[in-house]
Amino acid sequence: MATTYEAAKAVGITSIDAYMFPYIGTGSQPTGVACKSISTQISEFLAAIDDNNIPVKHLWLDIEPEDASQSGVACNAWQLGSAGNEALAKQWVAAIKATGRSWGVYAN
């Protein structure tokens, strides 16, 4: 992330936003890494921004389904049906709101 930011800054880009693909599920990824909670993902996302002193103006949650068979991500939960996806999105919104930062949702 820091390298990308430094490259953007070097060519004069001053308005920086950041986005993440939030996942949540149970079990583990194909790599053996356990699926992470919402709070852990938000904490790691903000730490990557803050630890690298990147002046991010707006955070984006990129919410869209992904075919786990193609991506290799077993923690994808955005195929829970309308009610399940809405409930999960509300959990993510509550968590990102709690950061006190400017945020939005990008979805398809």
Q: What is the pLDDT of residue 107?
A: 81
Q: What pLDDT digit, counting tens, does each position of 67-102 carry?
A: 655 555 566 667 778 888 888 889 999 999 999 999
Q: State the Cα–Cα distance between residues 70 and 99, nearest whole angstrom.
A: 32
State residue 70's pLDDT score: 56
* Alpha helices, H only, the chain: 2-10, 38-51, 68-71, 81-97
Taking only the tens place, the pLDDT of each residue in 9-53 is 899 998 999 999 887 766 666 677 777 889 999 999 999 999 999
Q: How far apart are CA 61 and CA 92, in angstroms?
A: 8
Residue 65 has pLDDT above 60, yes or no: yes
